[in-house]
Amino acid sequence: GRRIVAAGLSPILEPEVDIKSPEKEEAEVMLKAHLLEHLNQLLPNEKVMLKLTLPSVDNLYKEVIDHPNVLRVVALSGGYTREEANAILCRQDGMVASFSRALTEGLKDQMTVEEFDAQLDESIGSIFFASKAGK
């Protein structure tokens, strides 16, 4: 990310935590500490975006979200179902969805155009609602 910042751009960093890891909570706590350590080394004009796996503990990343060098923190569905991901996202203040896996859940190539469009509309609507639910 440093080279991208040095070029006057804002990097999008994506340190994903495996949702099936038995040490997921511990990994997230360690990740948060490392993120804050590195964010605190940035100059005021050096900004980053982060794509993070939905946390096990609600609002774990709030301090990261509120950091002055962070433009936006978006949530990865990380393999959760759309329903699970939306439920977790609703409880996170300041995070919005970046759900590619959850967005495509339920879409099948055997669907008619109308069925496909209806399923996609429902997916987008539910993810949008979950993104707006966090404060």
Active site residues: 14, 51
Burial, 10: exposed, middle or buried (Cβ in 10 Å; 0-12, 13-18, 19+)? middle
The 8-class DSSP code of residue 54 comes to P
Q: Which amino acid is at 32?
A: K
Helix (H) / strand (E) containing 7: none
Distances (CA, A) of 53 to 116, 120, 124: 27, 22, 19
